[in-house]
Amino acid sequence: MAQFDHVSVKKKANVYFDGKCVSHTVMFPNGTRCTVGVIFPSTLTFNTGSPELMEINCGSCRVRLAGEESWRSYAAGEKFTVPGNSSFEIETIEMVDYVCHFE
| Coil/strand/helix, residue 88 | strand
- How far apart, in whole angstroms, are the C-alpha atoms of residue 70 and residue 67? 9
Indicate the Cα dihedral angle 42, 78, 97, 91, nearest 10°.
0
Of the candidate residues 7, 17, 45, 72, the single one contacting its own copies (CB under 8 A): 7
Question: Looking at residue 13, what DSSP letter applies?
Answer: P
Binding mask 45-74 for its own copies (x = CB under 8 A): ------------xx----------------
Find the binder of its own copies among 16, 27, 83, 87 (CB under 8 A). 27
In this structure, what DSSP letter does residue 41 have? Answer: S
- Choose the stretch contacting its own copies; rule: CB under 8 A; options: 2-10, 45-53, 63-71, 79-87: 2-10
Binding site for its own copies (CB under 8 A): 1-13, 15, 19, 22, 24, 26-27, 36-38, 40, 57-58, 95, 97, 99
